[in-house]
Amino acid sequence: MRILKTVLGILLLSHALCVAQIRLPRLISDGMVLQRDQSLRLWGWASPQEKVSLLFKNEQYKTQADATGKWEMKLSAQPTGGPFELVFRGTNQIKVSNVMFGDVWICAGQSNMVIPMERVKEKYPDDIASANYPEIRLFFVATLTDLQKKRDDFPSGSWKVANPKDVLQFSAVAYFFARNLYEKYHVPIGLINASVGGTPIEAWIGEEGLAKFPELTATLQKNKDSLYVKSLLKQMAAANTPRKSQDKGMSETVPWYSADYIPKGWRRMNVPGYWEDQGIKDFNGVVWYRKEIDVPASMTGVSAKLFLGRIVDADIAYINGKQVGNITYQYPPRRYEIPAGVLKEGKNTLVVRVVNQAGKGGFVPDKNYSLVANGQVLDIKGDWWCKVGEVFPLAKDNGVSFSAQNQPSALFNAMIAPLVSTAAKGFLWYQGESNTGNPEPYRDLLPALVQDWRSRWGQGDLPFFGVQLANFMEVDYLPSESQWAVLREGQLKLLSVPNTALVVTIDLGEWNDIHPLNKKDIGYRLSFAAQKLAYGDQNVVHSGPLLASVTPENGKIRLRFAQAGSGIISKDDEELRWFAVAGADKKFVWAQARIEGKNEIVVWNDAVSAPLYVRYAWADNPENVNFYNKEGLPASPFRTDEPAKR
């Protein structure tokens, strides 16, 4: 009995000591950047009522944990500088080293904000090699959702410094933004990237911020019922029961990727291209591709790279029977490393197994398709052979679709709420693609997000800079309707909120890629907005032309623009493109457009005697826009909803 009491005593003491350990949030860790020039909140956890102290610059700050174990203390405003050490003491001691005081930017959105420098390394090799900026730092928030409540910390995460190795993890847009600011102001920059690909704006707004959206609020309340969510997931699982693969290319005695396989019954297919455009109708399943490549001796015996553009949806690539690459979804570029010894002099066989679940399948056009080794490049586009390995049956649709990361407030609760105690310089927001299916509500949702975040940070009207959707998809050479254009219009509503800016990227997209690679210009344009609105540099032109007024004038319409900078121009000295006008019938036709003075354009079409409405760049992909200001910033697309009046 005495032994038992002793053991229990030891266990209770051990538990007490364990509970008493002070703990810091993941953000407060080595290498962090704290916001300069303002009072700061530092916080953490300990035992209830435990006394906690901080030693910083030979000064001691003291506080006490509350009844729940939460504590916080205020640190007086600090000037730019560092590195410093923070020493926290309770019953234990935690040292936080290499702390800088500078400017902290919250970066959020979907995949175009996520895309790291690694994804664009072929485009920006010199920028990566020269990334020696120890005062530019990143904290990346891993994807996490919570449908029920706001969280107060992250399960993982650490601060990274911009060097040639770690910069590959940095958001490309955020890195170029930070670098441009740092090179001008030499102030440490802390980037906190909380972004998730394929997510809608409503997932990033807190519950209180959605109060004016009854449908979203109703969904949010339903999702708080864990039994309800489990039933949805169960229904989805039942409708998507995994089926055993029947791919002949894998199941035959000699697999189709094998070096010993002798092809029979294959057909020609052009690469790049989609199989639906080349004689295979409305097909979802597995298609195998193969091509023989003659490799010179000079490309053997060394490592090589295989570039397969982009593939819809998934692929496995083989060379001479050896697997050299595999990606499971459509968006990443296929850039496969081939070990030395795989390639041989003479004939080599390249085989690619492509799996497509919906839409057009195959190889995306206008991408890099080549084999590179020892400084030599072999073009692998052109005639390939293909064969169907498996046909997928039509998918069952029971009307149930649920993804936690797409639910109202789910990402706010888990990825933004833990940040709100962190003082910041401002916000960068790059999102919108996932709301193009229903774009009209965006005009209200984006201002609601800004208001929600600002109220939670409690720092007044913190600068908020958004990125407008780039041009994307096929070019339509007739005036047409466009959900992407409606979404861009909704993004323009950001400018109705004080201390905001919108970066126009209508000239930086790629018709065949929702993730355009030119992230440098986007980052730079964001930095221009910061220079003007966050750093007070009044000499910076941070925006392209924005429609200010519309006036009818003798069978024409006169447009006046704000943000004209030194004057509006045709960038290529050709006639301005992508203007359209309509009369009372709202049947739009292309218009002529003439620049008059510094900030005005007159538009007309002789076939429309009384034009009332105007549109500019109102399309998914208004390719090669040429309406800019002299500072090189493009005009935002727009339309006039109301008839032009004198």
| pLDDT over threshold 60, residue 173 | yes
66 DSSP assignment? -
Enumerate residues 6+ apart whose C-beta is below 8 A from 214: none
Query: For residues 190 and 185, what is the distance between their CA atoms, to the nearest angstrom?
Result: 14
585 CA to centre of own chain: 39
| pLDDT over threshold 50, residue 11 | no
- The pLDDT, as a whole number, for residue 243 is 77
Average confidence (pLDDT) over 309-320: 97
Average confidence (pLDDT) over 568-590: 97
Q: List the structure tokens of 176.
A: 């170029």
Query: For residues 549 and 608, what is the distance between their CA atoms, to the nearest angstrom?
Result: 20
| pLDDT over threshold 60, residue 241 | yes
CA distances from 559 to 612, 623, 638 (A): 12, 22, 11
Query: For residues 635 and 562, what is the distance between their CA atoms, to the nearest angstrom?
Result: 10
CA distances from 590 to 73, 94, 545, 549, 601 (A): 62, 67, 20, 20, 15
Enumerate residues 6+ apart whose C-beta is below 8 A from 496: 447
| Alpha-carbon dihedral 3, 8, 9, 15, rounded to 10 degrees | 150
Q: List the structure tokens of 39.
A: 């009072």
- The pLDDT, as a whole number, for residue 126 is 98
Query: For residues 332 and 412, what is the distance between their CA atoms, to the nearest angstrom?
Result: 26
| pLDDT over threshold 60, residue 101 | yes
- The pLDDT, as a whole number, for residue 235 is 87
98 CA to centre of own chain: 29
What is the chain's length?
Answer: 646
- The pLDDT, as a whole number, for residue 239 is 75
Check: CB of residue 353 under 8 Å from CB of residue 361. Answer: no
For 425-463, what is each residue's pLDDT tens digit? 999 999 999 999 999 999 999 999 999 999 999 999 999
Place of tokens 């065949």: 512
Query: For residues 432 and 71, what is the distance between their CA atoms, to the nearest angstrom?
Result: 37
List, as one string, the DSSP characters of 119-172: GGTTT-HHHHHT--EEEEEEEEPPP---SS---SS-SS--EEEESTTGGGGSBH
Determine the angle formed by the axes of helices 483-492 and 442-457, rounding to 10 degrees. 40
pTM for the full predicted model: 0.94
Report the mean per-residue pLDDT for the chain. 95
- The pLDDT, as a whole number, for residue 12 is 42
Could you tell me the pLDDT band of residue 334, with boundaries at 50, 70 and 90? very high
For 190-217, what is each residue's pLDDT tens digit? 999 999 999 999 999 999 999 999 999 9
- The pLDDT, as a whole number, for residue 135 is 98
Query: For residues 387 and 263, what is the distance between their CA atoms, to the nearest angstrom?
Result: 9
For 587-636, what is each residue's pLDDT tens digit? 999 999 999 999 999 999 999 999 999 999 999 999 999 999 999 999 99
For 509-530, what is each residue's pLDDT tens digit? 999 999 999 999 999 999 999 9
